[in-house]
Amino acid sequence: MQRVGNNSGTVIGVLIKKGIHRLQGIPLPVDEVDEYLAPYIRHDGDHLTISKILDEHHVVVLTGSEGSGRFTTALDVLRTRASANIRQVRREPGDRFAIEGLREYDTGWILDLRGEQPPQALGRQLAQDAPQLEHSGSYLVVLCHPRGWKASGSGAAHLTRPLSRPDPQAVLRRRLDQAALPITTAAWLSEPVITDGIAYCTPAHVVTWADAIIATERLHRRRRLAPPTQGDAAFREMVLEVAHAAENWHDQLLAWHTENTNSDYRNYLLAAAVLEGATAEKVYTASAELARALEETPTPRPGQQGLGVIALTHTANADLGRDGIIRFRHPGYAQAVVDYFLADRPHLLGAFTQWTAAQTSSLDSDLAGPLAERVSQWALHYTAHKRTTRLLRALAEQWSQTMPEPACNLLVAAALDSATGQRVRNAYRRWTTDDADKLSASLKVVLAQACQQLATVYPTSMLTRLADLAATPGTAKVTDAVSKALTALWQEPRQRSTVQERLTQWAHDENEARRAAAHVTFAHLAHLTTPSGPALLADQDIDIPWLIDMWRGALSTAQRLPMLSQVFSVWMQAILALPELCPTIWQIFLDAVHQPTDTHYSARRFLTMQHLLFAWAPATQTHDTSAAGAVRDHMLTELRAADPAAPPEPDATTTP
């Protein structure tokens, strides 16, 4: 979970990109590996032991609790062996794993099982199959929680290395030394408040302390104050401020809310925190809107009654700049105010979410984007710590109507996040099945778009979610969104066979909505073209029986496919422009109308084909000598001749 002090509106996109890179099984970019390892402190004992295990067996299992550095340790040890070819094993949680599937040479593999129970007997399997990696020159690092590995790691004790947390002071020193501004690290590490505060922290929490120090130093210099010296009152004040910021200002906010029971003050503080970087006038107006959203009656302020923006801003522990913008005096204070409210007023979550989401539409674009991302960060933070998807769903529902792109990004990021991913993906299953009737059409559309992105790393589960969405009674927009998602996935060769399998299942499903989604999706796919004709025919692994079956379903449900005539024209034009495709297209259409195994033909399919042919090449009053007309008439003749139920020709010999 990232806490971003200066969010310019790109954080969620970066998180999504990194998450997908990690889970797709492609080599991790060198710059991303460097960024992961920036605050990492190598433990020499661990490094030597892990290196020895890899030298002997090419497989090592790293166990440890959350924050013990399993993933970064894996990156560090593999970077010295596989350089720029480090990959995460591509699999969905719960899928079977086998070393024999890791066929690439000279590759460093990471099998991340931190969020799931490892498969039974995985330890014995790893010990038995490890020699396969030696032949390919590759290495495998498995990441597990100690409890999970205890039940599955029998037979692999010699491959296991438990990790302990690194020295917190070393992590803090490393992070401060990497800061963009010069910081006297020794002075901070000599303060008992700092050293005692980080003594039992995970590396991630130590980084939070380090970032609070950096933010405090930056804020101090922004005020153009003289650099404090160690031991003076100003430095001690900065130390206490860092401690408060690292602990999310909880005690200070508790005292503030105990003292300031006036709802007017509280709403102004919360509005200023949400709209951080906005003008005082905007915050002043928004605080009154927030009061109404929370079903309160704002105090009327005729004339000069009540506090003005200067006093309200001062009471909120913020300053009003000459540019009219409110800036908090303490690092991380705005985030802490929102966190405090979400924990303190859970019954107001829905109203607050709606109000917050609505603010983005009234801000300038340079503030609306960062605000949307800050709100997304709050939602991810809340989802992780409260272990509930209530805020996530409420926010996605609200944004799906006015800001579909941020809504989609939020759903994707939450499903990829290591702290929330499994819970969120389970929630999507619940939303698209048990709660499907309660979802708005706009949220279904956004969820389909999110599933499209997530299917690149979780194909089985996300295609199932798309199937669930396709099966729900909804609008044409939902069906179209599902179809576009599948069409986009078809463009990726690795997804093609899975999408084809799903469409085949849906086309023969008892659920009418799912059948409709299959046919609409096929129409979208059939409309794709290449210089060599329809894209479905240009595929090297062209599956003629599948094309016949899907065209047959499309002809049977033509009344629900407005674009079928347009798709049919694309294929017929290919006959004229590319004669070599004529036999293939001809046979597909003939078999789609008259299934060879049928004892009789479908009148609906024949009539639909006839209408499509005349829509493509309309008949004229005079004798039609055009190429399209000739093809049309010849195909009609062939269709009638292929009809198994058609009466015999008058001169045909019959057998009594």
Residue 622 burial (CB count, 10 A): 6
From residue 601, how far is each of 158, 607, 612 by CA, in Å? 67, 11, 17
Higher pLDDT pick, 320 / 11: 320
Q: How much is the average pLDDT of 568-580?
A: 92
Q: How much is the average pLDDT of 132-148?
A: 92
Higher pLDDT pick, 45 / 160: 160
For 155: left if phi > 0, alpha if psi spans -120 to 50, otherwise beta; the answer is left
- Judge whether 89 and 111 are in contact, CB under 8 Å: yes
Cα–Cα distance between 206 and 183 in angstroms, integer?
Answer: 16
For 167: left if phi > 0, alpha if psi spans -120 to 50, otherwise beta; the answer is beta
Question: 540 pLDDT exceeds 80?
Answer: no
What residue has token string 């931190």?
A: 114
What residue has token string 């209408």?
A: 611
Cα–Cα distance between 250 and 244 in angstroms, integer?
Answer: 7
Task: Write the pLDDT tens digit of every residue in 336-382.
Answer: 999 899 889 988 988 888 888 888 777 777 777 788 888 888 888 88
Q: How much is the average pLDDT of 291-311?
A: 80
Q: How much is the average pLDDT of 441-468?
A: 89
Confidence of residue 622 (pLDDT cuts 50, 70, 90): low
User: Residue 544: which of 511, 574, 500, 510 has the closest Cα?
Assistant: 500
Beta-bridge mates of residue 140: 59, 109
426: its two tokens: 């389970």
Residue type for 518, please? A
Question: 584 pLDDT exceeds 50?
Answer: yes
Question: 2 pLDDT exceeds 50?
Answer: no
Question: 384 pLDDT exceeds 70?
Answer: yes
Higher pLDDT pick, 240 / 361: 240
Q: How much is the average pLDDT of 39-54?
A: 89
230-248 b/e (C-beta count within 10 Å ≥ 16 → b):
eeeeebeebbebbbbbbbb
Q: How much is the average pLDDT of 307-328?
A: 89
Confidence of residue 84 (pLDDT cuts 50, 70, 90): confident
User: Residue 399: which of 356, 433, 436 has the closest Cα?
Assistant: 356
Question: 603 pLDDT exceeds 90?
Answer: no
Q: How much is the average pLDDT of 50-74?
A: 92
Q: How much is the average pLDDT of 205-216?
A: 88
Higher pLDDT pick, 154 / 233: 154
- Judge whether 447 and 404 are in contact, CB under 8 Å: no
Question: 10 pLDDT exceeds 90?
Answer: no
297: its two tokens: 């009656």
User: What is residue 111's predicted lDDT score, i.e. its pLDDT?
Assistant: 94
From residue 536, how far is each of 529, 546, 581 by CA, in Å? 8, 11, 12
User: What is residue 8's predicted lDDT score, i.e. its pLDDT?
Assistant: 41
User: What is residue 377's predicted lDDT score, i.e. its pLDDT?
Assistant: 83
Confidence of residue 66 (pLDDT cuts 50, 70, 90): confident
607: its two tokens: 């009539």
From residue 312, how far is each of 267, 272, 281, 306, 383 by CA, in Å? 10, 10, 12, 9, 31
User: What is residue 381's predicted lDDT score, i.e. its pLDDT?
Assistant: 83
Cα–Cα distance between 108 and 428 in angstroms, integer?
Answer: 32
Question: 580 pLDDT exceeds 80?
Answer: yes
Q: What is the DSSP string of 571-639?
A: HHHHHHH-GGGHHHHHHHHHHHHS-TT-SS--HHHHHHHHHHHHHHS---SS---SHHHHHHHHHHHHH
Higher pLDDT pick, 61 / 307: 61
Give the sign of the dihedral formed by CA 31, CA 36, CA 41, CA 45. negative
Confidence of residue 204 (pLDDT cuts 50, 70, 90): confident
Higher pLDDT pick, 283 / 538: 283
For 106: left if phi > 0, alpha if psi spans -120 to 50, otherwise beta; the answer is left
What residue has token string 């709660």?
A: 435
Q: How much is the average pLDDT of 241-249?
A: 88
What residue has token string 């951080």?
A: 276
Percent of all residues in the chain with a pLDDT value above 90, rounded to a whole number: 36
Cα–Cα distance between 537 and 550 in angstroms, integer?
Answer: 13
Question: 4 pLDDT exceeds 90?
Answer: no
277: its two tokens: 């970087």
From residue 112, how far is each of 92, 134, 324 by CA, in Å? 10, 21, 49
Q: How much is the average pLDDT of 594-620?
A: 82
Cα–Cα distance between 576 and 581 in angstroms, integer?
Answer: 9
The DSSP output letter for 512 is: H
User: Residue 571: which of 524, 537, 597, 605 has the closest Cα?
Assistant: 537
User: What is residue 621's predicted lDDT score, i.e. its pLDDT?
Assistant: 61
Cα–Cα distance between 577 and 569 in angstroms, integer?
Answer: 12
Least confident of 20-24, 414-418, 524-528, 552-556: 20-24
From residue 324, how far is each of 275, 283, 321, 353, 363 by CA, in Å? 13, 11, 5, 26, 15
Higher pLDDT pick, 511 / 389: 389
- Judge whether 334 and 219 are in contact, CB under 8 Å: no
Note if the pTM is more than 0.85. no
Question: 320 pLDDT exceeds 60?
Answer: yes
User: What is residue 645's predicted lDDT score, i.e. its pLDDT?
Assistant: 66
Q: What is the DSSP string of 304-343?
A: T-S--HHHHHHHTTEEE-TTSBEEESSTTHHHHHHHHHHH
Residue 200 burial (CB count, 10 A): 9
Confidence of residue 619 (pLDDT cuts 50, 70, 90): confident
Question: 407 pLDDT exceeds 60?
Answer: yes
- Determine the distance from the C-alpha atom of residue 224 to the mean position of all C-alpha atoms in its chain, rounded to a whole number: 42
Cα–Cα distance between 380 and 377 in angstroms, integer?
Answer: 5
Confidence of residue 409 (pLDDT cuts 50, 70, 90): very high
List of residues 6+ apart from 204 with CB closer than 8 A: 1, 67
Question: 597 pLDDT exceeds 70?
Answer: no
List of residues 6+ apart from 28 with CB closer than 8 A: 21, 22, 75, 86, 87, 88
Task: Write the pLDDT tens digit of every residue in 385-394.
Answer: 888 999 899 8
Residue 143 dihedral angles phi and psi, to the nearest 5°: -110, 125
Cα–Cα distance between 466 and 478 in angstroms, integer?
Answer: 10
Burial classification of residue 606, based on how many CB atoms lie within 10 Å of its CB (0-12 exposed, 13-18 middle, 19 or more buried): middle
Percent of all residues in the chain with a pLDDT value above 70, rounded to a whole number: 93
Mean pLDDT of the chain: 86
User: What is residue 371's predicted lDDT score, i.e. its pLDDT?
Assistant: 83
Confidence of residue 9 (pLDDT cuts 50, 70, 90): very low
User: What is residue 655's predicted lDDT score, i.e. its pLDDT?
Assistant: 47
User: What is residue 350's predicted lDDT score, i.e. its pLDDT?
Assistant: 81
Beta-bridge mates of residue 326: 320
Higher pLDDT pick, 306 / 136: 136
Farthest CA pair distance, the chain: 117
Residue type for 353, please? T
Confidence of residue 656 (pLDDT cuts 50, 70, 90): very low
User: Residue 46: which of 5, 82, 74 has the closest Cα?
Assistant: 74
